[in-house]
């Protein structure tokens, strides 16, 4: 009994200490499950176009962006996944931050521009992964994930169903609020425990992997000026990349200010998710030479591990159904925080009442002895 009381104290104390932070992280994560769809819904004028018969070339799409921002070097080009999507051409602004411009691939008209961190979904991302305060926030999120793991494990141990299975899955809907809250807390907790364990573990791992990566970054190199000659047309380079990897769907084109002669064309192979496209073709922008063809059919163990962690954390393993499920799983910690707080307060009230009753009896006994 003493061990159970200790576990209950650990469970409740940690939950109270990180409850609000955990709620914010889980709610933002729930919203981010469909972040791409939300981004398109928030910025339809940027990201949705009316498909037409003829698609402009990539060079024709870049031309108006370079004319509008002549001193902003290209960083990347993201290809739309559907015919009604716009191209996202990212350039580096004068303040060093990335500026996303959106171009209609049929009319080459610039639809709009934004900085990712200042967008609603960008802010939500930064808040979910690092509380919008950088590396310190990333550490806090990782630690919260580990503490949440302890909360889930202790909650599983405390589940009343281990003593009587039926009790552990019963919700007394007509009971007073404190008892109803207790039932909702334990039934909701045990039913969602597997997914909460997955989110806690994968979230903590991702936080510390990203943090480790940021610490291990090489010192920033000086910007290298491109050669004083015209590069080959991007449309021609894309044809060469397609010839080098014909079964790969182009998802990104990446430019590197430190290696201005190189261009990297990211490719999604048929068996890959677009989020985890690993293959690419590197070309020389000025000679058109194919430098390397990186066809990743079987990722190395560490990369495979990270993909598995990402798939589990983002709910990608079951398509649309697992993503919908994850939206609701993200709401569970808020429900558990509310019901757990009610239960905690009820236990405090019962304890105070017992102590008051005991003290009253002791006083009565003492009074009777002297009377």
Residue 357 within any structural domain of the chain:
no
* pLDDT band for position 208 (cuts 50, 70, 90): confident
Distance, CA of 115 to chain centre = 19
pLDDT at 276: 77
Query: 67 in a domain, yes or no?
Result: yes
The candidate with the shortest Cα–Cα distance to 103, out of 119, 116, 89, is 89
Average pLDDT rounded to a whole number, residues 140-153:
93
Looking at residue 57, its pLDDT comes to: 93
Percent of the chain with pLDDT over 90: 61
Please check whether residues 61 and 194 belong to one and the same domain: no
Q: Please, which pLDDT band fits residue 199 given cuts at 50, 70 and 90?
A: very high
Q: 23 lies in a domain? A: yes
Inter-residue contact 79 to 251 (CB < 8 Å): yes
Return d(Cα 222, Cα 201) in angstroms, integer.
38
Q: Which two tokens stand for residue 337?
A: 């925080």
Instruction: Tell me if 316 is assigned to some domain.
Output: no
Task: Examine residue 356 and state whether it is found in any structural domain, yes or no.
Answer: no
Length of the chain as a residue count: 371
User: Where in the sequence is the domain holding 239, given as residue range(s)?
Assistant: 50-121+220-302
Asked whether residue 250 falls in the same domain as residue 291, the answer is yes
**Any domain includes 361:** no
Give pLDDT tens digits for 89-113: 999 988 888 999 999 999 999 999 9
Band the pLDDT of 257: cuts 50, 70, 90. Answer: confident
Are 57 and 17 in a shared domain? no
State residue 365's pLDDT score. Answer: 66
Structure tokens at 48: 């949705």
Based on the structure, what is the number of domains in the chain? 2
Same domain, residue pair 160 and 276: no
Q: Are residues 203 and 175 part of one domain?
A: yes
| 230-251 residue pLDDT tens | 889 999 999 999 999 999 999 9
**21 and 154 share a domain?**
yes
The answer on pLDDT for 82 being more than 60 is yes
- Determine phi and psi for 104, rounding to 5 degrees: -70, 120
pLDDT of residue 115: 93
Tell me the C-alpha distance between 255 and 238, whole Å: 13
- Which one has a higher pLDDT value, 121 or 353? 121
Q: What is the pTM of this model?
A: 0.82
- What is the mean pLDDT of the segment spanning 169-176? 90
Q: Does residue 321 lie within any of the structural domains?
A: no
Q: What is the mean pLDDT of residues 25-52?
A: 93
Q: What is the pLDDT of residue 224?
A: 61
Residues 136 and 204 in one domain: yes
The Cα 299–Cα 307 span in angstroms is 9
Please list the residues that pair with 253 across neighbouring strands. 77, 265
| Cβ atoms of residues 328 and 199 within 8 Å | no
**Do 78 and 104 belong to one domain?**
yes
30 lies in the same domain as 132: yes
Given a contact cutoff of 8 angstroms between Cβ atoms, the answer to whether 288 and 232 are in contact is: yes
Dump pLDDT digits (tens) for 262-273. Answer: 999 999 998 877
**Band of pLDDT at residue 121, cut at 50, 70 and 90:** very high
Chain mean pLDDT for the chain: 88
Residues 228 and 205 in one domain: no
């Amino acid at each position: 009994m003493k061990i159970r009381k200790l576990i209950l104290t650990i469970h409740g104390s940690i939950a109270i200490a990180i409850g609000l932070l955990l709620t914010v992280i889980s709610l933002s994560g729930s919203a981010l499950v469909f972040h791409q769809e939300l981004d398109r819904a928030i910025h339809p004028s940027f990201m949705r176009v009316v498909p037409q018969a003829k698609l402009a070339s990539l060079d024709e799409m870049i031309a108006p962006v370079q004319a509008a921002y002549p001193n902003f070097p290209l960083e990347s080009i993201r290809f739309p996944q559907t015919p009604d999507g716009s191209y996202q051409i990212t350039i580096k602004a004068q303040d060093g931050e990335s500026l996303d411009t959106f171009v209609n691939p049929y009319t080459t008209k610039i639809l709009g521009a934004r900085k990712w961190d200042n967008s609603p979904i960008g802010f939500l991302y930064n808040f979910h992964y690092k509380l919008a305060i950088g590396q310190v926030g990333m550490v806090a999120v990782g630690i919260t994930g580990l503490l949440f793991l302890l909360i889930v494990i202790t909650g599983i141990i405390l589940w009343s169903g281990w003593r009587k299975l039926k009790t552990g899955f019963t919700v007394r809907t007509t009971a007073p609020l404190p008892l109803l809250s207790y039932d909702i807390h334990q039934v909701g907790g045990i039913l969602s425990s597997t997914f909460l364990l997955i989110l806690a573990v994968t979230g903590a791992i991702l936080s510390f992997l990203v943090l480790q990566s940021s610490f291990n970054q090489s010192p920033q190199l000086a910007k290298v000026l491109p050669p004083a000659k015209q590069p080959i047309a991007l449309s021609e380079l894309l044809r060469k990349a397609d010839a080098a990897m014909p079964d790969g769907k182009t998802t990104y084109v990446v430019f590197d200010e430190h290696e201005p002669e190189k261009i990297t064309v990211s490719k999604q192979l048929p068996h890959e998710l677009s989020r985890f496209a690993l293959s690419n073709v590197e070309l020389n922008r000025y000679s058109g030479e194919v430098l390397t063809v990186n066809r990743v059919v079987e990722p190395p163990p560490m990369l495979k591990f990270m993909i598995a962690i990402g798939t589990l954390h983002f709910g990608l393993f079951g398509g649309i159904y697992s993503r919908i499920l994850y939206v609701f799983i993200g709401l569970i910690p808020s429900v558990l925080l509310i019901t757990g707080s009610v239960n905690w307060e009820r236990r405090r009230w019962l304890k105070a009442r017992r102590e008051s009753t005991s003290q009253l009896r002791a006083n009565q006994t003492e009074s009777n002895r002297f009377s």
